């Protein structure tokens, strides 16, 4: 189900589940598709391949999935969102966190 436009998207909740184990295995020669840091770093190149339908090479993603990935890249590439809130979570020193 595509989260509504107001809902912040996070890597853990919305993006990581888009990548199959097979995708991760196939691409680990270049980056880890289950790593927030890696996918954030290569987000533009990944989005290009997804929009072209070049990757995954065994069948392009639906328009909804590509749009969801693009929306995540255009809204701060958040790692996590607070489960009970529509707000994002940011992490402070000393392991504390706060909603933003
Ligand atoms: C910067 C983005 C990407 C580049 C440059 C890229 C490049 C490649 C290359 C060169 C291969 C062939 C490797 C080989 O022959 O063994 C490959 C395979 C594959 N890639 Fe990507 N890829 C990208 C993103 C992705 C993404 C985002 C996905 C999944 C959503 C994906 C899924 C796959 C799969 C499933 C294969 C294996 C195909 C097979 O052997 O059946 N790739 N990719």
- Euclidean distance between the first and the last CA atom of the chain, given in angstroms as a whole number: 24
**Distance in Å, CA 73 to ligand 1 centroid:** 19
1 domain residue, yes or no: no
Question: Does any ligand 1 atom lie closer than 6 A to the CB of residue 55?
Answer: yes
**Distance between CA atoms of 60 and 12, rounded to whole angstroms?**
22
pLDDT given at position 6: 79
pLDDT given at position 40: 96
Which domain range does residue 78 map to?
11-99
Residues of the chain with pLDDT under 70: 1-2, 81-93, 95-100
State the pTM of this model.
0.84
CB-CB contact of 66 with 59 (8 Å): no
28 domain residue, yes or no: yes
6 domain residue, yes or no: no
pLDDT given at position 76: 86
**Distance in Å, CA 56 to ligand 1 centroid:** 6
Q: How many domains does the chain have?
A: 1
62 domain residue, yes or no: yes
């Amino acid at each position: 189900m595509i989260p509504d436009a107001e809902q912040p998207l996070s890597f853990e909740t919305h993006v990581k589940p888009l990548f199959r184990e097979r995708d991760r295995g196939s691409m680990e020669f270049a980056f880890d598709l289950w790593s927030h840091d890696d996918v954030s770093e290569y987000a533009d190149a990944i989005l290009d391949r997804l929009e072209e339908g070049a990757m995954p090479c065994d069948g392009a993603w639906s328009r909804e999935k590509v749009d969801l990935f693009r929306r995540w890249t255009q809204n701060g590439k958040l790692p996590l969102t607070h489960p009970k809130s529509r707000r994002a979570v940011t992490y402070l020193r000393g392991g504390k966190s706060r909603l933003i």
